[in-house]
């Protein structure tokens, strides 16, 4: 399979550790850190050293395999109890990205089916590797379907980072741009900075520049002006969880962009693998929204920018209702409304 970029893998497995691209250090430092324990994996997810729903799931799956590999139990029941504790701990790291729970459920199923400790350890490693390989292929297909929606010369706006470093490879919302560059298919990308922790500025701009994509960075409050004056042809974003009716949770600020797209009459696309759908939830009103420490608002890169003791409200995600979404791009094809009727045709 041909890769589209020279980007490094954000998550890599070794028999004794996990190698992780530290996304907190980007763009000034390209740093790879080694995770030697489940606690290291938990910390990396919690502190956003790894982020992006698919990459979180991948890292957690490898974390389970790592914990199992290190377990010295000789009793199968005790071994399964220990690994189950690892799964529960990793599941508590972040509440919104459903890929985390999807990956951990797959690992739990493998664990419970194992008939011996050696077989369990081997099977868990193989399952984590399979999740990685599947995600890479899913993202490539998402890129193919997404690119079919664009025309040469289009200007497309994106938010947060749904790219190769947030997945196994290629990305979701950014996958069409990587493929377009490979095929000399001209597209201009406008990337919102994505406050409060600047994933668009630090990560998306960096990633697309690494691939040679024509990218322009804007601050979040420039979106309406940019759409109007730069003739933006569409908006594409990733997702952290999609309900059965198509309501989509994504990085805070996504809802505002969907409202702008509706106002200006341009398409608003969501790109996500089937693992991001949570068909157990009827609508987005049931999606849990993570609220993070207010320091993310009052500090930028360690520099205080707000008064002492100011009250903060820091939701990490918002939910875009299905009627504002033009279509949802998956590895299985492009889903159009009616989402309640059509999502089950693409997502098992």
250 among annotated binding-site residues:
yes
Residue 195 is labelled as binding a ligand? no
Share of the chain above pLDDT 70, in %: 98
26 CA to centre of own chain: 16
Mean pLDDT, the chain, whole residue set = 95
The structural domains of the chain, ordered by start, are 11-139 (1.20.120.420), 149-346 (3.40.50.10470)
In 3D space, the residue among 297, 66, 90, 328 whose CA is nearest the CA of residue 196 turns out to be 297
- Is 51 part of any known ligand binding site? yes
Q: Which residues pair with 277 in a beta bridge?
A: 242
Q: Average pLDDT in the 96-102 region? A: 84
| CA angle in degrees (0–180, nearest 5) for 134-139-140 | 100
Q: How many of the other CB atoms lie within 10 Å of CB of 348? A: 8
Active site residues: 240
Kindly state the average pLDDT of the residues 287-307. 95
Binding residue per annotation — 251? yes
For 309-343, the pLDDT digits (tens) are 999 999 999 999 999 999 999 999 999 999 999 99
Q: Work out the burial of residue 12: count CB atoms within 10 Å of its CB; fewer than 13 is exposed, 13-18 middle, 19 or more buried.
A: middle
Integer Cα distance of 212 and 215 in angstroms: 9
Does 256 carry a binding-site annotation? no
Q: Which of 93-102, 111-120, 159-168, 214-223 comes out lowest in average pLDDT?
A: 93-102
pLDDT over 90 at 348, yes or no: no
pLDDT for res 6:
63
The pLDDT score that the predictor gives to residue 323 is: 98
Residue 86: which residues within 8 A CB-CB, separation 6 or more? 38, 63, 64, 67, 68
Rounded CA-CA distance 195/160 in Å is 9
Residues near 88 by beta carbon (within 8 Å), at least 6 away in sequence? none
Query: pLDDT, tens digit, for every residue of 215-268?
Result: 999 999 999 999 999 999 999 999 999 999 999 999 999 999 999 999 999 999
Question: How confident is the model at residue 4, as a pLDDT?
Answer: 41
The pTM of the whole model exceeds 0.85: yes
CA distance 93 to 266: 36
pLDDT at 2: 37
| Tokens of residue 65, six digits | 């395999």
Mean pLDDT within 10-22: 93
153 is in an annotated binding site: no
24 labeled binding residue: no
């Amino acid at each position: 399979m041909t890769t589209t970029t020279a980007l490094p893998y954000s998550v890599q497995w070794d028999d004794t550790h996990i190698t992780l691209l530290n996304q907190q250090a980007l763009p000034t430092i390209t740093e790879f850190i080694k995770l030697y324990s489940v606690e290291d994996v938990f910390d990396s997810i919690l502190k956003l050293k790894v982020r992006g729903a698919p990459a979180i799931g991948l890292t957690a799956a490898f974390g389970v395999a790592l914990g199992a590999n290190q377990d010295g139990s000789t009793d199968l029941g005790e071994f399964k109890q220990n690994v189950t504790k690892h799964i529960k701990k990793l599941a508590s790291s972040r509440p919104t990205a459903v890929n985390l729970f999807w990956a951990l459920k797959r690992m739990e199923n493998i664990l419970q089916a194992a008939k011996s400790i050696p077989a369990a350890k081997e099977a868990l490693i193989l399952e984590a590797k399979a999740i990685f390989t599947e995600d890479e292929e899913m993202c490539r297909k998402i890129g193919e379907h997404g690119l079919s929606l664009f025309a040469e010369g289009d200007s497309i706006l994106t938010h947060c980072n749904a790219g190769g470093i947030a997945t196994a490879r290629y990305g979701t919302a950014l996958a069409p741009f990587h493929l377009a560059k490979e095929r000399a298919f001209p597209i201009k990308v406008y990337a919102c900075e994505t406050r409060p922790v600047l994933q668009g500025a630090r990560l998306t701009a960096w990633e697309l520049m690494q691939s040679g994509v024509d990218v322009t960075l804007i601050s979040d409050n420039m979106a309406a002006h940019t759409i109007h004056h730069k003739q933006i042809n569409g908006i594409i974003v990733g997702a952290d969880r999609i309900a059965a009716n198509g309501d989509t949770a994504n990085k805070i600020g996504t809802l505002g962009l969907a409202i702008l797209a509706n106002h200006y009459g341009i398409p608003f696309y969501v790109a996500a693998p089937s693992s991001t759908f949570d068909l157990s939830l009827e609508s987005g009103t049931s999606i849990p929204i993570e609220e993070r420490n207010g320091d993310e608002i009052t500090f930028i890169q360690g520099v205080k920018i707000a008064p002492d003791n100011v009250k903060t409200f820091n939701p990490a995600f918002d939910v875009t209702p299905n009627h504002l979404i033009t279509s949802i791009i998956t590895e299985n094809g492009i889903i159009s409304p009616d989402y309640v009727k059509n999502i089950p045709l693409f997502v098992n």
